[in-house]
Chains A and B, each alone.
Chain A
């Protein structure tokens, strides 16, 4: 036990780094396992990005594979399948933004107006639950309800109305995956909005009511401004992740609806990179996505600052 260790909050004087290192060496030691894991599985792959500029050959490895410069990207940008995947990604992102994004806000507002604490707690317990389901499970549940042999078609068949197979129809696939996302994640999404709602000073409502403001006016002048910050933050995150519309969800359902409808950038990278062995090609697609995503996060944040909000980080 090094009893000579000085007290940690050392006031304003900065201690010699050697003393600080000796004092904090057990703290540093504690972070070592995490740092090692991150170095191996997050930072080494960063250098693996060079494979996007090679014709990677698994037999000779990264060090000896042939360098091809931007050939992979040239090929990628001339590949109609890539553009189709990009188009699908952007389309799905847009559909999710319009149909998914408002749902948690609306649910949170609705739930916030429920007086009974018992009902509020029960509702929260139920709607949080699907968040913990795997995508395999969620898709299986959808299949059992809406699929060809599911409850809906069982009912339609028994009443001779004709079947309606939602699960394999590529034309309505965007709606299907968005409703799956709403089913699984919208309940969980209300948490942040509930927190923002509970942070609004209730005296504001009382004062507004005393001044004769009705329900609608209170909502417009108190509730929505109170939610503005968190709504902007969520929008920034959503825009920054515009190229990530989900991965496992599409992987699972790709066979059912066909790759024309179900291929997004992430699955494209997987199918053309790993399944077919074109590692460098897949890596190039992945790198394209990473770079555009970073730009999107940066851009969305600039937008948030322009609206006078904090966004992801402060200006």
Chain B
């Protein structure tokens, strides 16, 4: 038992050493390249470090402020840069705030349903266009690509959606922008590269196109599926303009981004949240920590999902960029 364990860990150690060696080899300076000067190294480090700081420091300040006590925020005179007094009260307060909770539910709902719709339609369409020389393929492809260059513009789209009765309807936030032709083309490019032996073998076994898509193509292209789903999900999570167009009045249907815009960016008072001290009648801005907590809330799903797809990001996006 112990023996097996040590062998296992030894093997693990060896594996890790091999990975590290490979990384070192890839990271090594080629022998013909002259070593950089001290000034060059410093300049490079400063630029890279500065770039990172420009992105990370604001995020740090916002997250820290959202976790800070009122006293800490007072002492800092606003946003908190160094940890002073920490508390999670703000988050407890936020999650009992009806406006924020409703908005969070709406955002999650739109993102989940929208991504499901977009992915289903896109995957089907991409596979339908991915088999060589299939009937009508060129025509449908043309139909798709034309929309990348020609559009009716904002007003005609608005008139179509409202003409179909989309005002104040959930589908108006999802269907008009459900498809990204670019994403479909990326998926298609990947499906075209699915090994034709696998597909032919499945066909020999009597599988039809639906079966092949579900059991052969989808399982072999998980990475691009994940990345495409991320792009769609981020799009839905981030959208606010269609809310402004199609349901600007009913604050019960506002997603998080719109709440962020209204109450944090434009600093209007949160309505109907008596417990946190925002007046319903007089306009009173929310405490800074609560505002920052809402900012963090819009960030959290991105930060949770990001690491999972990040390793696929380069490959997936690249193919799209090159083929598209």
Asked whether B184 lies within 8 Å of A49 as measured between CB atoms, the reply is no
Taken together as a complex, chains A and B put the C-alpha atoms of A127 and B53 apart, in Å, by: 10
* Interface residues on chain A, number (Cβ under 8 Å): 105
Interface residue SS majority, chain B: helix
- Chain A residue with Cβ nearest B147: A42
Check: B39 CB closer than 8 A to any chain A CB: no
Check: A145 CB closer than 8 A to any chain B CB: yes
Tell me which residues across on chain B come within 8 A of A226, comparing CB atoms.
none
Q: How far is the CB of B69 from chain A (nearest CB, A)?
A: 18
Taken together as a complex, chains A and B put the C-alpha atoms of A311 and B7 apart, in Å, by: 57
Taken together as a complex, chains A and B put the C-alpha atoms of A150 and B144 apart, in Å, by: 45
Asked whether A283 lies within 8 Å of B81 as measured between CB atoms, the reply is no
Asked whether B140 lies within 8 Å of A31 as measured between CB atoms, the reply is yes
A31 and B128 in contact, given A116-B27, A192-B321 (Cβ under 8 angstroms):
yes
Check: B210 CB closer than 8 A to any chain A CB: yes
A125 and B310 in contact, given A37-B175, A49-B152 (Cβ under 8 angstroms):
yes
Tell me which residues across on chain A come within 8 A of B314, comparing CB atoms.
124, 191, 194
Tell me which residues across on chain B come within 8 A of A56, comparing CB atoms.
159
Residue of B27, B55, B135, B260 near A129 (CB, 8 A) is B55
Asked whether B47 lies within 8 Å of A128 as measured between CB atoms, the reply is no
* Interface residues on chain B, number (Cβ under 8 Å): 100
* Residues of A near any B CB (own CB < 8 A): 1, 3, 8-10, 17, 20-21, 23-31, 33-35, 37-38, 40-49, 51, 56, 58, 61-62, 107, 110-111, 113-119, 123-130, 132-137, 139-141, 143-145, 149-151, 154, 157-158, 183, 187, 191-192, 194-195, 202, 205-206, 209-210, 214-215, 247-248, 251-252, 255, 266, 269-270, 273-274, 279, 282-283, 286-287, 289-290, 294, 297
Q: List 29 A-B contacts (CB under 8 A).
A: A3-B206, A21-B135, A30-B128, A31-B140, A37-B179, A42-B147, A43-B147, A45-B160, A46-B152, A48-B160, A49-B156, A114-B48, A115-B27, A132-B234, A132-B302, A132-B306, A133-B302, A134-B298, A136-B240, A137-B298, A140-B295, A150-B79, A191-B318, A194-B314, A205-B33, A252-B265, A270-B154, A282-B154, A290-B151
* Residues of B near any A CB (own CB < 8 A): 23, 26-30, 32-34, 44, 47-48, 51-52, 54-56, 58-59, 61-62, 76-79, 81, 120-122, 124-125, 127-129, 131-137, 140, 143-144, 147, 149-161, 163-164, 175-179, 181, 184, 206, 208-210, 213, 234, 237-241, 244-245, 257-258, 260-261, 264-266, 292, 295, 298-299, 302, 306, 310, 313-314, 317-318, 321-322
